[in-house]
Chain A
Amino acid sequence: MGAAHDDGTRATGHHSEVTLTVNGTPHTLHLDHRRVLLDVLREDLGLTGSKKGCDHGQCGACTALVDGRRVNSCLLLAVTLDGCEVITVEGLTDGAGEPHPLQRAFLDRDAFQCGYCTPGQICSAVGVLAEAEAGHPSHVTDPATAPGRPVALDAAEIRERLSGNLCRCGAYPRIVEAVEDVI
């Protein structure tokens, strides 16, 4: 790890063609290597559900699902995602346009105030449900729990697993209740 510097001699270009399937629709884009997924979603594809909060992977407002896993889209260079399947909050509804059960639960529980963090909270919660089902432990899971079995999500598990999604309004109690409604 030497000091940060620039060799300035790279012969290849600074753009690449990238194919992303976003909410089921393939898109082939000619992208500057510097573009992150969040900006491509919002600016190129008009999918403004994913929000830019901190832009440094600290707030979770940009959370989307890439190949089924929740990630911070602000830290993912789009060029690295060629061939990947991306789901954003806009893609969580079913074919008939019905909201995802988590979206419905957030509405029923009034699990937001300003709503800015909500798409990230919901995408993150979708990821949480899949991770728990796959047996992924968390910091608060009893280490003696047998590997490979689904982890039951209580309020402490939900709070820990959603800790990467900040809510400046402090709607956490209702966010936890909304997630509890769908498990």
Chain B
Amino acid sequence: MKPFGYLRAGTVREAAEALAEHPGARCLGGGTNLVDLMKLGVERPGLLVDVSRLPLDTVEELPDGSVRVGATVRNSDLAAHPLVRDRYPVLSQALLAGASGQLRNAATTGGNLLQRTRCPHFQDLSKPCNKRTPGTGCAAREGTHRDHAVLGHSEQCVATHPSDMAVALAALDARVELDDGRTTRDLPADRFHRLPGDHPERDTEIRPGELVTGVVLPAATASLPSAYRKARDRASYAFALASVAAVLRTSEDGTVVHVGLAFGALAHKPWRAERAEAALRGGPATEDAFARAVERELEAARPLRDNGYKVPLARNLAVDVLTRLATARNRTGTTEEDS
């Protein structure tokens, strides 16, 4: 590891100014990904700006009924928070499906969004990687790519984004708050991460000198039936092969009123299934309809040599989760009528 300076930021402005002043600086949250990448030599910051003690560590309800999550709230605390468990179960489930208890205790909300791909070629300095060193090529496209993207990849990069949390945020229509020390802005969660295109070195839309300061969970998707399901090589403590986050509201007669659907581990970003959502909205909440809509979404898939399995896996996960949500709603309705 290269020697580096260290600054513990007391305010967002102080952190933003340090980032602006030192182009080689990196923000340090829980460090569960960044410190690992520094050990591997993938990241070589000249300065670490420690933002983990910034006063952004609360989950609070806002007057409009939305819930604001500070960027330094730890993943374990967010998953356990009563507001999240009660109103946004998909987010709690996604967080708990990720990493280990130790890592969730350290990892922050902002850091989870900003974590890098686990593509083995990105993490291996002996391999070409356009994301790590632009212009060197991609060792994954024709190499080991069983875990890689089937949607939205480019000639330059076939990596996936590893976050479970971000998939739930996309399905919930959450927003990501950004602050450069002078002005703030926010972005929809499903527009925060980018597809690789010709610039796979850019994972997100964050600008130089900006910090993620929080995430807002909207009132509109609060308390809707929602769930996360993840397929992986072992029962726990593994990255997704495919995952799905779904939010579904149906009317009394079984019509889809609201649906939010996002896939994880299929693309360079959480993949919001907008075509499937449009196909479902206003239609019947049945297994057949879910299957047709999800298949329409996945028509865009372009699997690589060794990851074609992801397409039927993702399809089956999504149909299963949506069907369960629809069935649970119907059961609740029956119970209410009976009582």
Q: Hey, which bits of chain A sit against chain B, CB under 8 A?
A: 1-14, 16, 32-34, 36, 55-57, 60, 63, 69-72, 75-77, 79-80, 82, 124, 127-128, 131, 134-139, 141, 143, 147-148, 159-165
Residue of A nearest to B29 (CB): A80
Report yes or no: B97 in contact with A136, Cβ–Cβ below 8 A. no
Measured in the bound complex, the distance between the Cα atoms of B76 and A10 in whole Å is 34
Please report which residues of chain B, range 74-102, place their CB below 8 angstroms from some CB of chain A when the two chains form the complex: 76, 79-82, 85-86, 89, 92-93, 96-97, 99-102
Q: Is the interface of A mostly helix, strand, loop or mixed?
A: loop
Q: Map CB proximity to A onto B129-168 as digits: 1 under 8 Å, 0 otherwise.
A: 0001110000000000000000000000000000000000
- B48: chain A residues at CB < 8 Å are 33, 77
Q: Which one of B102, B201, B227, B235 lies within 8 Å of A72 (CB-CB)?
A: B102
Task: Give B40's nearest chain A residue, CB to CB.
Answer: A56
**Contact of A148 with B36 in the complex, beta carbons under 8 Å:** no
In the assembly, what is the distance between CA of A133 and CA of B202, in Å?
41
Binding site for A on B (CB under 8 A): 1-8, 22-25, 28, 31-32, 35-39, 42-48, 50, 52, 76, 79-82, 85-86, 89, 92-93, 96-97, 99-103, 105-106, 114, 116, 132-134, 201-204, 206, 208, 227, 235-237
Cβ B206 vs Cβ A34 within 8 A: no
CB atoms of B46 and A6 under 8 A apart: yes
**A74 vs B52: C-alpha distance in the bound complex, in angstroms?**
17
B93 touches A143 (CB 8 A): yes
**Distance of A32 Cα from B47 Cα, bound (Å):** 13
From B38, B96, B208, give the contact of A2 (CB < 8 A).
B208
Contact of A70 among B3, B36, B102 (CB under 8 A): B102
User: Which residues from chain B contact A1 at a C-beta distance below 8 Å?
Assistant: 114, 116, 201-204, 206
> By the criterion CB–CB under 8 Å, are B5 and A13 in contact?
yes
Report whether B35 and A136 are in contact in the complex, using a CB–CB cutoff of 8 Å.
no
- 14 residue pairs bridging A and B, Cβ less than 8 Å apart: A2-B202, A4-B37, A12-B6, A56-B39, A72-B32, A76-B31, A76-B35, A77-B31, A79-B6, A80-B31, A136-B76, A139-B97, A143-B89, A163-B236
Cα–Cα distance between A80 and B100 once the two chains are bound (Å)? 21
Bound-state CA distance A34–B1 (Å) is 7
The A-B contact count (CB < 8 A) is: 164
* B22–A76 touching, CB < 8 Å: no
User: With a CB–CB cut-off of 8 A, which chain B residues contact A4?
Assistant: 37, 42-45, 132
Given the complex, which residues of B lie within 8 Å of A138, measured CB to CB?
96, 101
Contacts of B28 in A (CB 8 A): 77, 80
On whether the beta carbons of A131 and B4 are closer than 8 Å, the reply is no
**C-alpha gap A69/B76 in the complex (Å):** 10
Nearest to A151 among chain B residues (CB) is B80
* CB atoms of B3 and A131 under 8 A apart: no
Instruction: List, in ascending order, chain A residues with CB within 8 A of B103's CB.
Output: 57, 72, 75, 164
Known: A2-B201, A127-B105. A164 touches B5 (CB 8 A): no
What is the CA–CA distance of A52 and B133 in the complex, to the nearest angstrom?
30
Which of A6, A72, A139 has a CB less than 8 Å from the CB of B96? A139
Set A12, A147, A163: member contacting B86, Cβ < 8 A: A147
B206 contacts A161, CB within 8 Å? no
Q: Is the CB of A75 within 8 A of B46?
A: no
- Which B residues touch A56, using CB under 8 A? 36, 39
Apart from the given pairs A127-B102, A143-B93, A162-B101, 9 other A-B contacts in the complex at a CB distance below 8 Å: A1-B206, A4-B42, A10-B24, A13-B5, A80-B50, A80-B52, A137-B80, A143-B92, A161-B101
Known interface pairs A7-B24, A63-B102, A71-B102; A57-B36 also in contact (CB < 8 Å):
yes
- Please name all residues of chain A whose beta carbon is closer than 8 Å to the beta carbon of B201 when the two chains form the complex: 1-3
CA distance A6 to B227 in the complex (A): 42
With both chains docked as a complex, state the minimum distance between the C-beta of B168 and any C-beta of chain A, in angstroms.
13
CB distance from A111 to the nearest CB of B (A): 18
Q: Is the CB of B4 within 8 A of A10?
A: yes
CB-nearest residue of chain A to B135: A3
Q: Which residue of B lies closest to A56 (CB)?
A: B36
